[in-house]
A and B are shown apart, each in its own frame.
Chain A
């Protein structure tokens, strides 16, 4: 019985997700898209990086959210950035989001035996406005209004099903992404730390960083300790 990328934690006692150690979210709104990711990279029980950047820029207006094998997704991101730059020179104009997403999925498909990269491509162009494309393992390409991936995504499917509304404002979409990420980070041991978001609209890319103590807290979470009280220097 195939339950997809997540098996009941009750049945096996351990998540057997092929997408490891991440929560990535992209949501489209009226006039653009918002992308977001957590910051945790773990090797076993050690968190090797608690503030990593899982969002890679492919062109001025298209970004890549990476989950699965870090090496594979970095390689794909680098190749696609190279191809997209070449294409921009040839076209004399930035490539469309659809084209860049297709490049990512094509790499996934042609090398499907070797690769384990589950990615989301999101961007903004004049032709179709804000767009979100899922590029899962295997080489599928599917345009969605919103997409999630990574081990933490299991816990927020229903939250996004319920809260997503077509034609949201930028602020609403940004709040939705931050809420969804923080809910996943609260429950998924492989996700956590900080939140990074990128908002893309006709004015360009707007990057935001939310430090650990500013991540929203939910049921059973304790509020973050005060930095000064904890004896840390506040810059």
Chain B
């Protein structure tokens, strides 16, 4: 994955900052009784340079289905673009609502069909006539319906925390809290995750976004609070 371009100046330093842009990331989605909550950090890195510290990694596929992206920034943007296009076509042809499962399968086909060329870890989540649902599409292109999903480099650090704290009977606010806390813990331990927390809640009323700036996140163990 590392590509080092030789340009004028220090070849080593340039190589470090010219690595393929990676969404070293933490992404998460949780199903609750009336819908789903998606969340992500906001760091995009190019080697050790943080190319974007306020990145939005939660991308709409339809009004009621969103995609969390991790892995290669370009690969996931390309996949999202294609899936948005095909889903828009489908919605126009069908003249009716498209199910979350359909959108997830579309993303899976892209990921599995091009598995050798892509590096993309995706989470598709949304709300339809059957309620909220979350689909995990890890590297390789498996499609798994799950009650909650975590992904990206930061997710390793919070697997234990999520296993311990997740409950199947969470309300909207509890699910939102779960997502916010999972993200701030991952961001505290993973150097490839950071910045701010973005969340999207999708329910019968549609999709609503929230943004929490980094300094407003509650500090974790041993962290000092941001200066006032």
Contacts and interface: CB of A to CB of B under 8 A. Distances in A.
Interface of A: 1, 3-4, 6-11, 13, 154-162, 164, 179-180, 183-184, 186-187, 218-220
Interface of B: 1, 19, 22, 24, 45, 47-48, 70-71, 119, 121, 138-139, 151-153, 155-166, 181-182, 185-186, 188-192, 220-222
B160 A183 contact: yes
A10 B163 contact: no
Contacts of B139: 10, 13
13 contacts: A1-B45, A1-B191, A8-B24, A11-B119, A154-B157, A155-B159, A155-B160, A158-B160, A158-B161, A158-B188, A159-B161, A183-B163, A186-B163
Contacts of B185: 157-158, 161-162
A34 B186 CA distance: 25
Contacts of A8: 24, 152-153, 156, 192
Given A8-B24, A218-B163, A154 B156 contact: yes
A235 B18 CA distance: 63
B192 A3 contact: yes
Given A10-B70, A10-B71, A161-B221, A1 B47 contact: yes
B220 A161 contact: yes
Contacts of A160: 221
A4 B139 CA distance: 22
Given A10-B71, A159-B164, A183-B160, 11 more contacts: A1-B47, A8-B153, A10-B121, A10-B153, A10-B155, A11-B1, A11-B71, A155-B157, A157-B185, A161-B185, A161-B220
A219 B162 contact: yes
Contacts of A180: 160
B contact face: mostly helix, strand, loop, or mixed: mixed
Nearest to A183: B160
Given A1-B24, A161-B188, A155 B45 contact: no
Contacts of B162: 219
Contact of B220 (A11, A154, A162, A218): A162
Nearest to A9: B156
Contact of B164 (A6, A13, A179, A220): A179
Nearest to B146: A220
Contacts of B153: 3, 7-8, 10-11
A162 B188 CA distance: 11
B199 to A, nearest CB: 18
A24 to B, nearest CB: 14
B188 A187 contact: no
Contacts of B189: 157-158, 161
Contacts of B45: 1
A162 B220 CA distance: 7
Contacts of A157: 157, 160, 185, 189
A164 B221 contact: yes
B138 A10 contact: yes
Contact of B48 (A1, A155, A186, A220): A1
A187 B161 contact: no
Contacts of A158: 157-158, 160-161, 182, 185-186, 188-189, 220
